[in-house]
A and B are shown apart, each in its own frame.
Chain A
Amino acid sequence: MEEFADIIEKIENQKTITPPDNLVYQIMVGVKKVESGILYKFNRFLFQPRELSSDAVSILSGKIISPRQCSFLLLIIGLFYLLMGLFALWGLKDVLSNSNINLWLRVQPYLSILSAVLIISMAVMVSQKPPTIIFAQYGIIAHTAFIVVNAFILEFMLFSPQALVFALVLTAAAIVFGVLLISSIRSFIKSGLLTTRSGYAQNT
């Protein structure tokens, strides 16, 4: 490169040009315009990588440390029961209106909706008053026990093997949800972030 040393020096010595004074202002005006555009908003909404909140991270890793997380889990499971009940009501409309079918079988969709209402109420209760989580725990234990009893009763009423398998799968799922909810609530209570007498302690 020595042969070009003089040329390199001349390029390096070229005067630096100062940009116009209003350049930053003009750019910021353009930026504002871009920001209000639908395409920009759409692109960011779809493609911008998002960071999971600490709540979401700990829910996914199984560490429940806040009443908000417990409330969220209760809400999700409540919604599951609600959808299951509504689908059963809608799908078995004709069957349910048949009075020849056992009453206990006919009330199953309503029981599912009732479970949903109870669990969603618990979710709201826990999010508003965290100490009520103790009652939510007992509520879920009672609900899970009821599901087991319900499964036994249904076993004697259902004769079709397909219906039996379906009822067993739903019962197993409900028991798994119940156990998960109870262990989540217990893990939160054990974390020491909750005191029942003095209400909810922010941190210990």
Chain B
Amino acid sequence: MSPGLRTPAPQLSGWGRLPVPGREIRSEDLAGVARSRPLTRGLGRSYGDASLPPAGALEVAGSALADRLLAFDPETGVLRAEAGLSLREILRLFLPRGFWPPASPGTAFVTLGGMVAADVHGKSHHRDGTFGRHVRSLRVLLADGRVVDCDRETHPGLFRATLGGMGLTGHILEVELTLQRVPSAWIVEERRRYDGLDALLAALRAAAADWPYTVAWIDTLSSGNALGRGILFAGRWAEAGEAPLFPPPPRRRRRFPVDLPEWCLSPFAVRTFNALLFGTAPARPQRRLLSPEQFFYPLDAIEDWNRMYGRRGFTQYQCVLPESERPGATRRLLELMIELGGASFLSVLKDMGAEGEGMLSFPRPGVTVAVDLPIRPGTAALVARLNRLVADEGGRIYLAKDALSTAADFARLEPRLPAFLAERARWDPHGRLGSAMSDRLFAPAARGSQIS
């Protein structure tokens, strides 16, 4: 560096690009770098501050270099690996051998440890549940330096608190999980558009019976009869006779080159984009053969796509609403979003199956909605309004996406929080572990639990 170019203070941010002072220290020896630090971070795909250091700390450990395969049994599909192994590597190494992870989020740029910490879900949630359901055991570095193995029999409390515990119970060092056997390396996709929310929700439910993978994109800008219009994507693995014998070629990744200027996110631009996308989707079911990458991770084709939301960054609001207990909850959420003018590009809608085992796992039966929100002056207030509605409907928010909720909101949204904090206090009584997220969401509640 030349004297004229001062080295800026190091900054760290989540996928939503809201930075805090901080630095990630990566090493092949994860236990070594994690021992003296309050948090371990994977590939930084959580949107908010889940992977950022708490107040008083500057550094978090990074797991991405601790990515060794420890064992794989081709008979049972059981894989054991270090926590930094990425989903992308798992797919690259094991899809050619006929195996696929039973639950996978919308990006492959996540680590095993990150998938456990957020107890991620995917397009197969209605059938296969969360990632945690397929985890057999975990090795965790505790706050006091001990390394323990936990599963459903040994330290079940630690196991259940660590699934979906956002890395706040200990540093996840190793993960053992069961991969699913698949008949080919290709996906048969069927998609069609639906003109309103009721039709789309009904179609999602109907598709769940026949298809292992389902998801819908909805246009959150249209109101009236077109409210919640969207495109349903359903998928399944191609059978051996339906697909080419060769695996799909690796996709070329393009980089999003610039931070988009603000006008690209104007209501007019977004409305046009959504209308184009909806208008070009087929009105009758249309089938095609896709690579798993195209079907599961469409946005992974564009590196740094988070720059689309410009320099001010963005967040994602994802909640789950108990639609069958409170019919119309999804409609009420969309109506509020339109009223407050918060909606942006294509949003995601999916029906969810069983609740996860983790003490703070996000999924529960109902409908989940995920909406990207560019950061603007009123975004925090918008999130607060949405949180109020979700709490009233008995729903939840997803911590892997959250950046702006307050501790008071979260306490209302999460009746399970005190139990989680009590379990966490058993394993970290001195509060050595933490993140910017736990500072933000747990602070008052945590003090309460220490008194009790």
Do A and B bind?
no
A residues engaging B (CB < 8 A)?
none
